[in-house]
Amino acid sequence: MINAFVVNSQDLNNRLSLTIENDKWALLDQYYTNGLFISYAFSLETNFLFFKTENQKLQIEFVLLQQTYTPSNLTSTNVLDYDRPYAGWLGFTSRVHSVKQKQAIILGVEIGLTGEQSGAGDLQTWWHNLLDIEVPKWEQEIGNKFLVNLNAKYVYNLISSKYSAFDYKIETALGLKDINIATGFDFALGKLNRFDDTSRIGVLKTNSSNEFYGILGANYKYVLHNTLIQGDLNNNDTLYTTDIINHVLSAKTGLYYKSKRHLISLEYHFISKESPRAYGQIYGSMTYAYNF
């Protein structure tokens, strides 16, 4: 099926992108401390999960990712000093985007590995040794697991013009890794394309005009379960875990530039505490994407 999509998409829009996320850009080294994302997306001309209409755009996206989580105390081997567990996630995500003039629906499935098999601890230890900075102990890391999650997101464009836009979002995750529901908004200001032709939601269209804009966003998430903090749903982890905070607030600000072939973005994210003994955090995110 995937081979057929690739063959049919040779004359369509395609995109390769790389995203790097790290809290060192906020002079921190704790909690969600690093993320690497490699993505390939392409447009579809035929129906897939959605019935494609004349004014609708369908896209498929594949993402390979690795994420690293640590407590704030990186020097101790005593779990009593930890405010969250060490955790790594090596995942693969497949998403289908359906975009219309004022709304978008994104459906996805994510599979992946936690624990030492994720490679997150090895990569962080190697990187810290290379830079000769404090090396985290990686004691009592969340154990090896194979997890599957389903994800859905709905975006509705409430206000749109050439220079400003206001988008409402609601999304949910359900599976062995995460169970949550979130809602929020993004306000964009600058030089913008129409909603169904904008980089704000990753729309592929090579003949669209350039965009340059800033975004302010806010989000509320109700969390029922987070395996990377609590361990698995059966509560049978023998390694260190801790409770979660059910109500999590987040915000972001960023700058974005998109030409016909290139996209560059820089964001900063702010997240309230996710476990009882932890604090809020800040991390940066940088993306480069190439359309072809």
Cα end-to-end span (Å), the chain: 22
Structure-token pair, residue 113? 């590995």
Q: What is the pLDDT of residue 176?
A: 96
Q: What is the pLDDT of residue 278?
A: 96
Query: pLDDT tens for residues 150-197?
Result: 999 999 999 989 999 999 999 999 999 999 999 999 999 999 999 998
What pTM was computed for the model? 0.92
Structure-token pair, residue 111? 């599979």
E strand intervals along the chain: 14-22, 31-44, 57-70, 87-99, 103-114, 145-160, 164-175, 178-191, 211-226, 247-258, 262-271, 281-291
Cα–Cα distance for residue pair 159/42, rounded to 1 Å: 27
Cα–Cα distance for residue pair 38/20, rounded to 1 Å: 9
Q: What is the pLDDT of residue 205?
A: 66
3-state secondary structure of 142: coil
What angle (nearest 5°) sits at the alpha carbon of residue 130, between those of residues 128 and 132? 65
3-state secondary structure of 100: coil
Cα–Cα distance for residue pair 202/260, rounded to 1 Å: 13
Q: How many domains does the chain have?
A: 1
Residue found by looking up tokens 């709905």 in the block: 154
Domain that holds residue 144: 2-291
Between the CA atoms of 33, 38, 39 and 40, what dihedral angle is there, to the nearest 10 degrees?
180
The answer to whether 119 and 171 have CB atoms below 8 angstroms apart is no
Q: What is the pLDDT of residue 7?
A: 39
Whole-angstrom Cα Rg for the chain: 20
3-state secondary structure of 246: coil
35: CATH: 2.40.128.140
- In the chain, what's the furthest Cα-to-Cα distance? 60
3-state secondary structure of 289: strand
Q: What is the pLDDT of residue 203?
A: 86
3-state secondary structure of 229: helix
Cα–Cα distance for residue pair 203/189, rounded to 1 Å: 18
Q: What is the pLDDT of residue 188?
A: 98
**Residues with pLDDT less than 50, the chain:** 1-12
3-state secondary structure of 120: helix
Q: Which residue type occupies 209?
A: S
Buried residues in 127-164 as b, exposed as e (16+ CB within 10 A)? eeeeeeeeebbbbbbbbebebebebebebebeebeeee
Q: Which residue type occupies 68?
A: T
Those residues whose C-beta lies under 8 Å from the C-beta of residue 186, and which sit 6 or more positions away, are 165, 166, 167, 169, 200, 215, 216, 217
The answer to whether 165 and 192 have CB atoms below 8 angstroms apart is yes
Q: What is the pLDDT of residue 110?
A: 98
